Amino acid sequence: MSIEKRLTDNGIILPEAPRPVANYIPATLVGKLLFVSGQLCLDQGKLNPDHIGKIGKNVTVENGVSAAKLCAINILAQAKAALGDLESIKSCVRLGGFINAAPGFTALPPIMNGASDLMVAILGEAGKHTRTTIGVAELPMGAAVEVEAIFEVK
């Protein structure tokens, strides 16, 4: 099944891939590796109030999972903008997950599953990746989740 069809089947419309406003770029291809900058849980370019703050405090687990999913969607949007076509992705190599965790909130992997599950839903077996999940002290704009990625291209 094509990646575009899987996006449609999952009801996902990739957002515009915003250009950073500072001296960095959203993605870069080096050899066969595509590095994607850390993506916040923006929803069509905006941070939903439900996705601002600390999971385990003012952000619910359910909203944390959807925040991680949004990060993964934004990663795919950046990959598509960089590559032209998601079909040129061979595999997702690594996701780095940064969870804005309230003190004592240690159930971080289920939050990060929101990103991992999306990647597999869209890329299939090729979406299975290595990952590292940590709880961070703060994230830009108070975002609940940030995720970075490395892909292998064909």
**Taking a C-beta distance cutoff of 8 angstroms, is the pair 131, 96 a contact?**
yes
Q: Can you tell me the distance from the alpha carbon of 141 to that of 41, in angstroms, rounded to the nearest whole number?
A: 10
**Residue 3, SS3 per DSSP:** helix
Using CB under 8 A, which of 8, 28, 44, 60 touches a second copy? 28
Judged by CB under 8 A, does residue 11 bind a second copy?
no
Judged by CB under 8 A, does residue 24 bind a second copy?
yes
Name residue 61's amino acid.
V
**Taking a C-beta distance cutoff of 8 angstroms, is the pair 77, 57 a contact?**
no
**Number of residues in contact with a second copy, rule: CB under 8 A?**
56
Stretch in the footprint of a second copy (CB under 8 A) among 2-10, 11-19, 61-69, 90-98? 90-98
Judged by CB under 8 A, does residue 73 bind a second copy?
no
Q: Can you tell me the distance from the alpha carbon of 122 to that of 95, in angstroms, rounded to the nearest whole number?
A: 15
| Closest distance of CB 12 from a second copy, Å | 16
Judged by CB under 8 A, does residue 64 bind a second copy?
no
Judged by CB under 8 A, does residue 148 bind a second copy?
yes
Question: SS3 sequence, 111-123?
Answer: HHHHHHHHHHHHH
Q: Can you tell me the distance from the alpha carbon of 140 to that of 52, in angstroms, rounded to the nearest whole number?
A: 10
Judged by CB under 8 A, does residue 35 bind a second copy?
yes
Judged by CB under 8 A, does residue 139 bind a second copy?
yes
Q: Using CB under 8 A as the criterion, which residues of the chain lie in contact with a second copy when the complex forms?
A: 22-28, 30-33, 35-38, 91, 93-96, 98-99, 101, 103-109, 112-113, 116-117, 119-120, 127-142, 146, 148, 150, 152
